[in-house]
Chains A and B, each alone.
Chain A
Amino acid sequence: MINLFKVKAKQRETAENVNGKAPVKKQTAGELRLHKDISELNLPKSCTISFPNGKDDLMNFEVTIRPDEGYYIGGTFLFSFQVPSVYPHEPPKVKCKTKVYHPNIDLEGNVCLNILREDWKPVLNINTVIYGLFHLFTQPNYEDPLNHDAAAVLRDNPKMFESNVRRAMAGGYVGQTFFPRCIS
């Protein structure tokens, strides 16, 4: 049984001691798990990570993917990651910041990747997500489309899809949509 009166006395004592002391920054279990994920990252050469808010904010970061094969070879694609405090109970929120002509990424930057939503499991980590994104560029999938037009072209006319991708990445129009250049 806890003696609450004893507890109260102790609290008074600590309250006196901490007076004038700056509040301690809380580190959530989610942040600690993310710390582990980040410290164990093992990225392919074509992926780099950066921390716009400096070394102490791991909850917000950016990943750059430069596909070295497939339709998107030569392009540079930037993704933003926002990790919730209840990570890994909830997956990171990922957006594509580069406008891209892609069947699984819409023009708003929403990404249709199963492990980011319906198939997320706490055993997965940041590394798996980055590999998943990388995979979207080497294996675009017309069966789960977010950009319906791009998916239809990929399915029915891969040659045309390839030329559309090249045109979009070089900076130009595909149909009515303009894509800024993303080839360096």
Chain B
Amino acid sequence: MDRIDVTNPIVNFLFSLLEDVGKPKAEVAAKRVMERLSGVNIVPHFCRIEDKDLDFYNDFNIIVLGLDSVEARSYINAVACSFLEYDANDNPKEETIKPMVDGGTEGFKGHARVIIPGVTPCFECTIWLFPPQVKFPLCTLAETPRTAAHCIEYAHLIKWDEVHSGKTFDPDNPEHMQWVYTEAVKRAELFGIPGVTYSLTQGVVKNIIPAIASTNAIISAACALETLKIVSGCSKTLSNYMTYNGVEGVHIKVTEFVRDKDCLVCGPGVLIELDTSCTLQKFIDMVKEHPKLQLSKASVTYQGKNLYMQAPPVLEEMTRANLTESLFDLMRRVPSGTVHVTGTTSENGKKTSGVRKLRVAFKGVDGIADMDTAGGA
């Protein structure tokens, strides 16, 4: 739900410096594209992606992502995967697949990928691809700043709390950003460090790397092409992850990543059929014996409700009473649903712990399947 900043028109040809600064990006972009291309109909939504309900997303055939964070991608990925259903043989039901095309750029580097939930790896399957964000030690910021970024992070993380006790910093509020910038300049002067600017302040605080128009154009073209291929079926799609690097010359590579078969977000999970009378305790015992699971000391969670927790003692006590209840009742009498179980398995004498996804179906209960059969996320 960004608004147009003075720096945006330089890298985005849809925005005009004279007219558009301060207006919602989505609305201006939609208007400009419709002006340029006749017959195109775009409905902009100026809001947070989390504000739309599942029905809104379910209404689309394909979702193309132009997002700027791991968090937002992870969210939409979970939404798209939540529509996915599997049949009894763990094959994805084609009619429940919601394809996604994702693109992103950082300076001269970018990527475009196609995610077909249940077929190609989802965002969560390969989340390990992302390097952790660079974070400076707090004590360095407080004691021995050496770079302009250190001074900015000091103002942002330490000085802000000291001065504005209790008030949370909002990176989208220009007054807040200006305050951090001013404080960072003072700090830099104190330590004789050059290079603190307002745009660097924005960059460090919001973790932004300057956008390059050519990279954006290449990546958005790749995304548009993949989308066209999926919609029209005119060609095979990218399989499944393209990286572009224009730092020195041009280097493009397509890598075929593989799915994580136990992915909690897009994986089928283990199908378990239960009698409606099965208690939670019996279910936990069963999970231990189940050949595909063999999870001992299982803790059970269903749609954000913790049905049983083995530890810590305070939670064990709060959930213990559920053990004698039937799982069917605890799941509010749905015919089927996704349950997550954590526990330990031992393989060749080595104990490992993990989270597993279970598709629980109750015998002899008719009705529509739980919407959350695949996603569970």
Question: Which residues of chain A have a CB within 8 Å of any CB of chain B?
Answer: 1-4, 6-11, 14-15, 17-18, 21, 23-33, 35-36, 38-43, 48-51, 54-56, 58, 84-86, 89-90, 104, 106-108, 110-112, 114, 117-118, 120-122, 144-146, 148
Contacts and interface: CB of A to CB of B under 8 A. Distances in A.
Contact of B312 (A6, A24, A35, A49): A49
A26 B124 CA distance: 15
A35 B355 contact: yes
Contacts of B371: 14, 18, 21, 24
B75 A112 contact: no
Interface string B131-143: 0110111110011
B377 A108 contact: no
Contact of B303 (A24, A35, A49): A24
B49 interface: no
Contacts of B372: 24
Contacts of A2: 94, 97, 99, 116, 230
B59 A110 contact: no
B306 A40 contact: no
Nearest to A5: B61
B162 interface: yes
B10 interface: no
Interface string B92-116: 0011111100000000000000001
Given A39-B342, A49-B314, A146 B139 contact: yes
24 contacts: A3-B94, A6-B94, A7-B61, A24-B370, A25-B303, A29-B127, A32-B301, A35-B340, A38-B309, A39-B310, A40-B310, A54-B318, A55-B306, A84-B71, A85-B71, A86-B71, A104-B139, A108-B162, A110-B157, A114-B137, A118-B135, A120-B132, A120-B135, A145-B142
B303 A9 contact: no
B2 interface: no
A85 B73 CA distance: 12
A27 B303 contact: yes
Given A85-B71, A90-B133, A110 B161 contact: yes
A40 B138 contact: no
B158 A110 contact: yes
B368 interface: yes
B48 interface: no
Contacts of B265: 29
Nearest to B375: A26
B311 interface: yes
B70 interface: yes
A108 B161 contact: yes
Given A15-B58, A38-B311, A112 B74 contact: no
B211 to A, nearest CB: 22
B174 to A, nearest CB: 24
B202 interface: no
Nearest to A117: B135
Contacts of A145: 139, 142-143
Nearest to B54: A23
Q: Which DSSP category, helix, strand, loop or mixed, fits chain B's interface? A: mixed
Contacts of B365: none
Nearest to A1: B233
Q: Which DSSP category, helix, strand, loop or mixed, fits chain A's interface? A: loop
Interface string B62-90: 10000000110011001100110000000
B175 interface: no
Given A4-B62, A10-B96, A146-B138, A122 B128 contact: yes
Contacts of A23: 53-54
Nearest to B130: A89
Interface string B357-377: 000000000001011100111
B299 interface: yes
B342 A25 contact: no
B95 A85 contact: no
Contact of A51 (B54, B74, B78, B314): B314
B164 to A, nearest CB: 10
B357 to A, nearest CB: 8
Contacts of B310: 39-40
A41 B316 CA distance: 12
A148 to B, nearest CB: 7
A136 to B, nearest CB: 12
Contacts of B251: none
A128 to B, nearest CB: 14
Contacts of B132: 89-90, 120-122
A78 to B, nearest CB: 15
A165 to B, nearest CB: 19
Contacts of B314: 48-51
Interface string B226-260: 00001101000000000000000000000000000
Contacts of A8: 61
Residue with the highest number of chain A CB atoms closer than 10 Å, among B136, B231, B306? B306
